[in-house]
Amino acid sequence: MRMERILLSGALMLSLGMLSVTQLAEAKLPTEVSSAIARSDFSQVQQKLTELIQSGIQGKTLNQIIQDKELMKLITASEVIQLTGASQLDELVKSKKSYGAFLNTFLDDVAWMQLYLQAGLIPHDNAVSLRVLGDIWQAHGDDPDFRKYLSLATGTAAAWGAGNFAPKLQNAEKSLTSGNKSNPVWRYKFFRDAHKANKLHKNFINLKPWEIRFVSGGVWDDASLKYTQNTINIPPRRYGDACWKAEYCGTSEFGDTIQGPLFYVAWSDSMGQAQKTVEHGGVCGALSHVGHTAAAARGIPSYPVGQPGHCAYGFRPERGKWLGGFGGPDGGPHNYIFPGKAPTCINLMEEAFKNDAKVAKGYEYATVASVLARLDNVKLADEAWLVAIKTLPHNMFIQQDYQKFAKANNLLNGEQWYDYAQNLIRQYNGHGFAVIEVLKPVMPDVLDQCNDAQKLQLFASLQQALANTPTSWAEDITPILSDQSAQLSSNKNAEKYLELLLNTHMNAGDGSSFGKVLEWSINEYVNAGKGDVFSKAFSKAVAKGGKSTGSNDAQHEKRMSEAYGKAIVAAENARSLSAVRSVSEAAKAYQRKEYNAPAKSELDLPKGKLVSDKGYLRLSTSSGWDSPCDHLNVLTLGGGAFHTDNEEKPSVIVELPEGVDVSGVLVVKNHGNEWRTKKMKMSRSVDGATWFDIAETNDMPKQWKVEFKDKTPAKWIKIESLPNEKTPLHLNRILIFAK
Amino acid sequence: MKLYVPLILLSGVFNCMAAPVPYSEALELAKKDKKNIVVVCTGSDWLPSANDIEKAYASLEKDFPQDKVIWALYDEKEKASEAELKAPKPPIGVWNFPAVQILDSEARPVFYAEGIKPSTLMKLGPIVEKYEKLIDKRDGLWNAAKDKSGEEAYVLIAKGLDAMPEKMARYYKPQIEQLAKLDPSDKTGAHMKYTFGFLSFIEKEINGRIKDQKFDEAKKYIQDCLKKPALTTYQRQMLMAGMFRLQKEQGNLPAALDSLKALVKIDPKTEFAQGAKRMVAYYTQPVKMKNLSWSQGDNRPLWIPMLFDVSSVMKEPGTYEIEFKHRDGHTKFRNPVIKSGNNELVKVSDDKESNKFTVTISKLSGRPILQIDSQGTGWFAGCGDVIITKK
């Protein structure tokens, strides 16, 4: 319990409860504001602030307003109250008087309020974060180093009040069992003490509130943070392995499946989830949470991430560099500031918040803009908004707040909205998915006044931004394509759209969306009986790009072969079976006529039914020696070809359309350079991320046949080469048979 | 073994013991000189205590028997070069730096401790001596086994493995496999002791047989294993957990719970025994609620009573409506009883499931407790509040 301080005379001071002498001496909020806080009448507080601001801004330019420290304090306080909700704050102060004392301190501290507003995600119309901040202040506000850990306190409070985990964290405060409990004041102290004891990553003390969310805002219980901090201490780069401190197992010691509620019931409620998982096992969800919690416990931002049928995680030893654990960091992050999929929403967040000085400036102007707009000072508000969005163009919340303001005040006509959109798209190059999200509220206004030619121009810009966006299989571009295509009024223009799509994604960026673009194109055109339209568009796209040399026809054929190859690899990396199969079918003319490998009649086939011929494969890397047009044939009795780059552990993964009980696998080498494939490992997976070794050889024969008597479920089979030095992997056949 | 040397030579001694060698070098030296290795695992560019560890290490001179041991340092860096990443690693992967491993001359582990403090290193000398003697004893047994065959050899090899901590002995696969060859039936269970894995046991030997309806076969397997004297306490308890599983799946819960009680009897102090006790309570004891709400953890897989103290809301005779208002999931309820001490004030026993019940209490004395049969469904997400209204 915090020691009560002696208060200065005055009923006001007494009614405020606990204030230190120092704080009283420095309190500068106008008396009428402080007294309204004490009466828990925040509507009155807001009214008083509004009056003071209104009078304060008279005759001032925007710059003069920004320079006026006292005025900025009032403006910032007004914004905090507006966002939180006056009635919510009334209830908070009524619930406990000391919150009044806290708010008097907080609303008088412009640096602290700005830190709070810059947390990225703070609650609107609820006072949870301020309640939590008040609790932390109550417990530790008198500590001499409280200001040093202000970011920790503020970030923890922000995570508690807003975001995907907020409801669970608030619920966990009420838990009656220590193994399920989470408490923000405990977390503040835990991380503060750990930092003082040199237990945290060196970057921790520099983390801002938006980053603290990914350290102290994790959803597992407090006991798990303590447990993982005490049991896992490894080089930061290795936190991608931290999940393996626990054993992967789907059955408890008492025989209960983890796919049910009984797995952990034998273990004490005072044991946190992490300890239960490390001592008694778990599967991907629990293991990924061990990994992410272990990183967080060392002050390293991290998040768990959902993938189809799997849970993984991401962690970040330094700004901008997210690494993965258990198959992460891509997928749907469970903790985030901007909604979307990783890596795109995470990359956007890093871009938006990377410069601390710009973040401070951008939020400052956004705060002023918001308050001035409420005061109906449209001219100054607009000026402030324009500075805010220019300073922080990638902050989608600030952009959308500006859009609301501009729309409400009819500041832009259709043409100007079009220009705004095009300008924003240029700025969001490399964040294509985000700009589509940012423009959603205004896109109808933009498109309404566009003809098809203008729409195609806009879509071309958007597709360029998307093509230049580093992404992964986790992000699905196809809904965007359907939406855009539907905006065009004629088949002719829809075909022009297809051409620009294929041209852009084939020839720009890293091609990471190209596979999904192909998948969509094939569904919309090839499968709808318009294969010729697709082929024509594909051919045009090839003609516009490519770097091959040679005579015109030969040059075009070479380009087509390369383009199909690139398309197939893109479809494989996009994990799109339909796109791989369709493009491979279209590329049949570019397959090799024969392969330098054993004939079909020489094959020593395992028992069972061949199932690999319905799947597709994915290489760890491709290379100049690779021939993607021949990839699918590798999975058939006739054989095919692939060739990775030189790697330490090159591998190939075969994905089947559905899980099977594998009876056998036959892996066949090409004739020649057989020394490259000697030490080999085969593993299986049912979720695409968790691998179980099923066979190994130190000296792979020409035909490596592995048969399984026991149940061997798999949807994926991986073949890995384990050479002594960097070597490529090339094989002629990988044939998978099922029972 | 302490070294007594004239003062003038101490500096020489100190110089000899100055810096530990990198682990990769220690491997070569150990092989060549047939010496054991003590390797401290640290992280010079990220571990805050790395400097203290190295200082503590360097000041161990007085106590360690440096004529028999090679002192080594394994530095797992954050910014490791490619060569450093490829360098040989100690046999036990470290999860909690700093750590120390004692290895024999063939780099096989006999001792491991992690998350150690620099001050712990200062006390390493006696531990090193203890494990040196252990290695000598073990090697003596295994050398003797080379001249023997059959059961005699088996016994000596097993004794050698037993001389080490069980977790360390598991790294000695050639010796473990020799046991299997010398006695394929594994009469004593020495081979099983060092190869037993709970997951393959419960999934393959028990659940696998249950799936194939081979209950008797599973029971015989467990009973035969229990006869093996070499098995550890944990392994015996694990076998009884398997028996519990088997009997529960056969629909014989009383027998299954007896198996859990037998598990506890093997050694009540183990964590596994504590878990078994919780399981017994889980399947048999009424769930006493702390207030008028229930949460996910209160659900049970079978009909078990929940007990709610309703004295704050039932203060006089009358008719009451009791509602189980769910916030999430679904818990089944039936057969409410209002009790006071041993007296049943009102009882419903029609087995009708509902979320709402009406009870009439004609006489109310003492502290009324609501007892209601409940059963969880699905993932036991059922949670909510008990709302009692007097009509």
Residue-wise burial string across A190-218, b where 16 or more C-beta atoms lie within 10 A, e elsewhere: bbbebbeeebbbebbeebbbbbbbbbbbb
pLDDT in tens, A303-356: 999 998 899 999 999 999 999 999 999 999 999 999 999 999 999 999 999 999
pLDDT number for residue A542:
82
Within-domain flag for A469: yes
Structure tokens at B179: 């046991």
Q: Which amino acid is at A118?
A: Q
Interface contact A232-B46, CB threshold 8 A: no
**Domain identity same for A618 and A532:** no
Out of A291-295, A469-473, B285-289, which region has the weakest mean confidence (pLDDT)?
Answer: A469-473
Residues 6+ apart with CB under 8 A from B144: B156
**Domain identity same for A453 and A579:** yes
Interface contact B115-A234, CB threshold 8 A: no
Number of domains composing chain A: 2
**Domain identity same for A602 and A671:** yes
CB-count exposure of residue B189 (10 Å: 0-12, 13-18, 19+): buried
pLDDT in tens, A358-371: 999 999 999 999 99
Q: Residue A156 in contact with residue A170, Cβ under 8 Å? A: no
Closest-CA residue of B relative to A198 is: B48
Interface contact A235-B376, CB threshold 8 A: no
Tokens 């960091």 identify what position?
A329
Interface contact B241-A253, CB threshold 8 A: yes
Closest-CA residue of B relative to A710 is: B204
Hey, is A62 helix, strand or coil? helix
- Topology, domain B287-390: Jelly Rolls (2.60.120)
Please identify, among A586, A605, A628, the residue that sits at the C-terminal boundary of a domain: A586
Within-domain flag for A438: yes
Structure tokens at A343: 């890596």
- Closest approach of chain B CAs to the CA of A166, in angstroms? 17
Closest-CA residue of B relative to A238 is: B78
Q: Can you give the three-state secondary structure of A658-717, one letter per residue? A: EEEEEEEEEEECCCCCHHHCCCEEEEEECCCCCCEEEEEECCCCCEEEEECCCCCEEEEE
DSSP class of residue A525 equals I
Interface contact A247-B199, CB threshold 8 A: yes
* Cα–Cα dist B40/B116, whole Å: 10
Please identify, among A540, A569, A586, the residue that sits at the C-terminal boundary of a domain: A586
pLDDT number for residue A14:
42
* Cα–Cα dist A619/A637, whole Å: 20
In degrees rounded to 5, what are phi and psi of residue A249?
-155, 140
Please determine, for residue A2, whether its predicted confidence score (pLDDT) is greater than 60. Answer: no
Which strands form B304-309's sheet, in the order they lie side by side? B287-288, B304-309, B369-376, B331-340, B343-347
Identify which of B48, B249, B290 has the shortest CB distance to residue A198: B48
β strands within A218-353, DSSP E: 302-307, 310-318, 321-325, 332-333
DSSP class of residue A524 equals I
**Domain identity same for A565 and A626:** no
| Residue among B93, B70, B74, B92 at smallest CA distance from B84 | B74
Closest-CA residue of B relative to A257 is: B203
Within-domain flag for A33: no
**Domain identity same for A504 and A550:** yes
What residues form DSSP beta bridges with B373?
Answer: B305, B334
- Mean pLDDT for A53-66 is 96
Q: Structural domain of residue A496, as residue ranges?
A: 412-586
**Domain identity same for A448 and A581:** yes
Within-domain flag for A604: yes
* Cα–Cα dist B331/B301, whole Å: 10
Interface contact A261-B376, CB threshold 8 A: yes
Q: Mutate which of A253, A265, A271, A724 to disrupt the B interface (most B C-beta within 10 Å)?
A: A253
* Cα–Cα dist A233/A143, whole Å: 28
Interface contact B245-A255, CB threshold 8 A: yes
Task: List chain B pLDDT tens, one digit each, 391 residues.
Answer: 333 334 333 333 333 444 688 999 999 999 999 999 999 999 999 999 898 887 887 777 555 656 778 989 999 999 999 899 989 999 999 999 999 999 999 999 999 999 998 888 888 888 998 999 999 999 999 999 999 999 999 999 999 999 999 999 999 999 999 999 999 999 999 999 999 999 999 999 999 999 999 999 999 999 999 999 999 999 999 999 999 999 999 999 999 999 999 999 999 999 999 999 999 999 999 999 999 999 888 999 999 999 999 999 999 999 999 999 999 899 999 999 999 999 999 999 999 999 999 999 999 989 999 999 999 999 999 999 999 999 9
Q: Would you place residue A5 in the very low, low, confident or very high pLDDT band (cuts 50, 70, 90)?
A: very low
What residues form DSSP beta bridges with A733?
Answer: A668
DSSP class of residue A639 equals -
pLDDT number for residue B12:
38
With both helix axes pointing from N to C terminus, report the angle between A69-84 and A110-117 in degrees, rounded to the nearest 10.
40
pLDDT number for residue B65:
52
Mean model confidence pLDDT for chain A: 91
Interface contact A245-B95, CB threshold 8 A: yes
Within-domain flag for A670: yes
pLDDT in tens, A135-164: 999 999 999 999 999 999 999 999 999 999
pLDDT in tens, A368-422: 999 999 999 999 999 999 999 999 999 999 999 999 999 999 999 989 999 999 9
* Cα–Cα dist A422/A426, whole Å: 6
Within-domain flag for A707: yes
Closest-CA residue of A relative to B281 is: A266
Compute CA distances A410 → A407, A413, A414, A713, B131, whole Å: 5, 7, 10, 61, 83
* Cα–Cα dist A167/A159, whole Å: 10
* Cα–Cα dist B18/A492, whole Å: 82
Identify which of B49, B78, B206 has the shortest CB distance to residue A235: B78
Hey, is A317 helix, strand or coil? strand
Q: Can you give the three-state secondary structure of A13-42, one letter per residue? A: HHHHCCCCHHHHHHCCCCHHHHHHHHCCCH
Closest-CA residue of B relative to A175 is: B295
* Cα–Cα dist A611/A602, whole Å: 20
- Closest approach of chain B CAs to the CA of A198, in angstroms? 6
This prediction's pTM:
0.88
- Closest approach of chain B CAs to the CA of A714, in angstroms? 17
**Domain identity same for A684 and A647:** yes
**Domain identity same for A600 and A579:** no
* Cα–Cα dist B118/B109, whole Å: 21
**Domain identity same for A608 and A660:** yes
B108 or A179, higher pLDDT: B108
Closest-CA residue of A relative to B280 is: A266
Interface contact A255-B198, CB threshold 8 A: no
B-chain CB neighbours of A199 within 8 Å are 48
Q: Residue A735: in which H helix or E strand, if any?
A: strand A733-738
Q: Would you place residue A552 in the very low, low, confident or very high pLDDT band (cuts 50, 70, 90)?
A: low
Size of interface A-B (CB pairs under 8 A): 87
- Mean pLDDT for A496-504 is 93
Identify which of A177, A233, A237 has the shortest CB distance to residue B115: A233
Complex-level ipTM: 0.89
- Closest approach of chain B CAs to the CA of A583, in angstroms? 39
List the end-to-end C-alpha distance of chain A, in Å, as a whole number: 68
- Closest approach of chain A CAs to the CA of B128, in angstroms? 24
Q: Residue A643 in contact with residue A621, Cβ under 8 Å? A: no
**Domain identity same for A443 and A492:** yes
According to the per-residue pLDDT averaged within each range, which of A250-254, A563-567, A722-726 is highest?
A: A250-254
**Domain identity same for A572 and A611:** no
Within-domain flag for A345: no
**Domain identity same for A542 and A463:** yes
Within-domain flag for A576: yes
Structure tokens at A274: 């992490």
Provide residues of B within 8 Å CB-CB of chain A. 43, 46-49, 76-78, 80, 94-97, 115, 198-199, 202-203, 206-207, 238, 241-242, 244-245, 248-249, 271-272, 274-276, 278-279, 282, 290, 296-297, 299, 301, 376, 378-380
- Closest approach of chain B CAs to the CA of A260, in angstroms? 6
Interface contact A254-B241, CB threshold 8 A: yes
Tokens 């969509």 identify what position?
A520
pLDDT number for residue B4:
38
pLDDT number for residue A546:
52
- Mean pLDDT for A191-200 is 97
Identify which of A198, A247, A251 has the shortest CB distance to residue B203: A251
- Mean pLDDT for A200-222 is 97
Q: Would you place residue A180 in the very low, low, confident or very high pLDDT band (cuts 50, 70, 90)?
A: confident
pLDDT in tens, A534-544: 888 888 888 87
Interface contact A251-B207, CB threshold 8 A: yes
Residues 6+ apart with CB under 8 A from A651: A619, A620, A644, A718, A719, A720, A721, A729
Interface contact B206-A198, CB threshold 8 A: no
Q: Does domain B198-284 match CATH 1.25.40?
A: yes
Interface contact A268-B274, CB threshold 8 A: yes
Interface contact A265-B95, CB threshold 8 A: no
CATH number of B7-127: 3.40.30.10
Please identify, among A553, A586, A619, the residue that sits at the C-terminal boundary of a domain: A586
Interface contact A177-B297, CB threshold 8 A: yes
